[in-house]
Structure 1
């Protein structure tokens, strides 16, 4: 079993999914600190000694603009962004743990570099990196912006890498049970699986000069 008891956190997220209200938060705020944010912070410190480099997302959704989401997030997540533009992410929710790495949101100044690299010689190296990430247990997916429905302007719809060319973000991720025998090792393994993809992104896409949107 993991040295961190995450079962109460999983149960907390199951409860909030059934009652995502401000009243629930008033009743369960102290349980969030003891059962969710505390154990999550301890796990984060185990997987990365430099835990201060991570941004932990607050438990509340921004509903000022008429969001149809409830007032509370149904997960706790943390993000570490590197100077080269890549990042690592860790999440705990009712399904368990999710770890990922890559560039989940390609900013407007990154998208042209992403597409140009895929269309040119580096595209073959990216395909090879994806194969090795998959062989190591990772799963490649688009980031959280919806991919384009059609090929980008000027790109052949039959291009062999057209699926990736339509993406606006890219991540290598893995799901793990909250009660995994060694959750920290499983998380690191997923990040390791995505390391080559991240190196490719750092070299051929690089960081954005624009402000990153809030997640």
Structure 2
């Protein structure tokens, strides 16, 4: 339940329809005319979902629906999805979003500043901690997660191209994602258990990053 005592019952079809329409008409006039739909079909269910997960994972941040267009070529004013993020450490945590493509969950680290990146690569290079990460990555891939994040196309400076974990060393950030798309479960209360299980599956990765790649 969220702060108002509302239980999570899934995202209604109206949430996906709202974002379908917003992608076609991303204007202030559309937003103003349909803000009630956003509030009731998108924001309220997302708030209820992350509130139900809060006792185990911590308080989530619900991202604002407005895009920062100051330096963007794309001047459309509104995001075409609603995300919620629980920060578990330095630029690291769990994520869930709903948009026109449906529901997606994720876990990862997104801070690729130089000190953080150096710590991450040193931990990947180390046989003990790097092997532990390889096991986590392989397990999550077997579970159906997609590995993402910003990567280099070349070999990082200071490392050999034949390093046994060169694919991991190329990462400047690392995330895992899983999509539920339009599966019927996203419209039901059972989605809460799915997201909880997914976030639990990502806990080992979050703990590895917190222990070995945080500065």
Q: Same fold (TM over 0.5)?
A: yes
Superposed, which structure 2 residues align to 1:27-38 within 5 Å? 27-38=33-44
Deviation, 1:83, is 4.0
Partner of residue 170 from structure 2, selected from 166, 172, 189: 166
Matched with 1:185 is: 193
Deviation, 1:50, is 7.3
TM-score, normalised by the number of residues in structure 1: 0.85
Using the TM superposition, name which of 56-65 and 184-193 deviates more: 184-193
Deviation, 1:16, is 0.7
SS of 1:67 mapped into structure 2:
coil
Matched with 1:134 is: 141
Q: Is the 8 A contact 1:13 1:75 kept in 2?
A: yes
Aligned residues: 203
Deviation, 1:108, is 2.3
For residues 27-47 of structure 1, what are the alpha-carbon distances to aligned partners after superposition, in whole Å with 9 as ceiling and x for unaligned? 222221122111211222223
- Relative distance call for 1:190 and 1:201 in structure 2 (3 A) is same
Deviation, 1:4, is 2.3
- Relative distance call for 1:194 and 1:69 in structure 2 (3 A) is farther
Matched with 1:211 is: none
Partner of residue 93 from structure 1, selected from 99, 120, 141: 99
Q: Does 1:23 align with 2:43?
A: no
Superposed, which structure 2 residues align to 1:52-131 within 5 Å? 53-68=59-74, 70-83=76-89, 86-121=92-127, 122-131=129-138
Give the number of the structure whose residues are more often helix, by fraction: 2
Residues of 1 paired with 2:158 and 2:104: CA distance?
A: 36
Q: Which runs of 5+ in 2 are unaligned?
A: 1-7
Residues of 2 paired with 1:84 and 1:104: CA distance?
A: 9
SS of 1:24 mapped into structure 2:
helix
Deviation, 1:172, is 2.3
- Relative distance call for 1:129 and 1:10 in structure 2 (3 A) is same
Q: Is the 8 A contact 1:6 1:35 kept in 2?
A: yes
Deviation, 1:15, is 0.6
- Relative distance call for 1:52 and 1:112 in structure 2 (3 A) is closer
Q: Does 1:154 align with 2:158?
A: yes
Deviation, 1:151, is 1.2
